[in-house]
Amino acid sequence: MIIRHTIDPDKIHMNPQQEDLALLKSLLEIYDQKYIGSYLNEVSPGEWCRETINRWMNGKASPRLSHHELEALKKLLPAPPANHPEYEFDFIDLFAGIGGIRRGFEAVGGRCVFTSEWNSYALKTYKANHYADPDFHSFNEDIREVTLSHKEDVTPDEAALNIDRMVPDHDVLLAGFPCQPFSIAGVSKKNALGRAHGFECKTQGTLFFDVARIIEVKRPTAFLLENVKNLKSHDKGRTFKVIMETLDELGYWVSDVDVTGTPDPKVIDGQHFVPQHRERIVLVGFRRDLGVHKDFTLRNIDQFIPKKKLRLGDILEKKVDDKYVLTPKLWEYLFNYSIKHKAKGNGFGYGLVTGKDITRTLSARYYKDGSEILIDRGFNSAKELHDPENMKNRPRRLTPRECARLMGYDKPDGSEFHIPVSDTQAYKQFGNSVVVPVFEAVAKLMKPRIQAAIQAKKNTQKKRNSNGRRAQPGSSLKEHEGDPLKKHKA
């Protein structure tokens, strides 16, 4: 489903009552009725509550917002970037999560024109923090509704037309796609039906297939694909091999693809930017025919690593609610669990850290017990676990705000990033996300090549126009044999 941003009050011509309701509906995509009611009640004490909002939404009441109330609600929507409306390139954000990769590319002048994310809670956080221009941006919840990959009776040409219709033209494709094994089962059946060969056979049924189809149809200048480090070894290396073969088949050069050993520049550790050990594989690709990829390497990301290392202590909040301190029962369980596995020679156990340490990787399961990153509050290993002082100084979890800082969404002492969801959902979201400064650094590396490619395409279009041929947005310098749209665009 494609969802346009509900409202931009400055651009949409409505009567005041329609404008109020449209704004409210837009905000309820992010916040619940209780939050909006409480927020308005702070602006106009005694005037608003959850029930008032509920009655309004159900058509049982028609309250009018005062000027101050309207302006206060508008502030809950994210503001445009400082450079708006002047952007240097367009990009799309697939499997977007809460927008970590987007933030990196927006920081270097990019404009997001399309977002796809299926998780409703992640979308709330995304919409709370990222501006959606109603004239240029759209949301999609299920990428398969774009590629039609879940419908077996759809031909490749029909799927291509749907992709071209639903996905705006863009210069860069961003995707943090899930890691899934590929299967070549069903190839004979596809051959019998006259279906496409190549990557479509190998990747069908995976979400990477959807990414590949969009790349094939829209032909972006460049892409960035992000995944866990283990993508290289997943399914005994077959998954990575198929991905590389697919990208090559589509006409793209991938940075540092020939590096197989250690260190691998494609694997970037977040601890160079934040106090967290977090390795992710980053695949940067450029269209070969545009000739802008020469000498590009992710090794050059070193020039953007901060000279001053951020310490864990720099991101910790001064005052923390007691609810984040482990209960005596949970602390005892984790403590004994660690001893048990150490005795067996296993490395399982909690990660107790101080303000000077680099943490382990924050995971999506952090909400369960927080064991991978526990903040030391004065535990003395020389004393017994049940010593009164040790039990008083039980470790604590990170707060969601500290997670936002640890992932680079906030500055070390900042709190600008909006967290409109429960602690449980916030932990899942940050644990599934990326270290933002890593991708801002990659975006800085890519930007000159993106700009050069955009100029190369413009020059090609001018040349074609001068030769009496109609310019075709997104097409390569030479005909791309795998482009299923070429017959429709002729």
Residues classed as catalytic: 179
Instruction: Return d(Cα 259, Cα 252) in angstroms, integer.
Output: 17
Q: At what angle do helices 423-431 and 120-129 cross, to 10 degrees?
A: 80
DSSP 4: E
- The neighbour count for residue 406, using CB atoms within 10 Å, is 25
CA distance between the termini of the chain: 29
Please choose, from the candidates 57, 54, 48, 68, the residue with its C-alpha nearest in 3D space to the C-alpha of residue 21.
57
Cα–Cα nearest to 84, from 64, 60, 104, 112: 112
What are the strands, taking DSSP E only, across 80-171? 89-94, 110-116, 138-140
What is the CB-side half-sphere exposure of residue 323 using CA atoms within 13 A? 6
Tell me which residue has tokens 């400082």: 82
Are the CB atoms for 402 and 380 separated by under 8 Å? Answer: no
Q: What DSSP assignment string belongs to 291-312?
A: T--TT--GGGGGGGS-SSPPPH
- Calpha distance 176→45 (Å, rounded): 44
* Among 135, 131, 145, CA closest to 76: 131
C-alpha–C-alpha distance, residues 123 and 140, integer Å: 10
Distance CA 468, CA 10 (A): 42
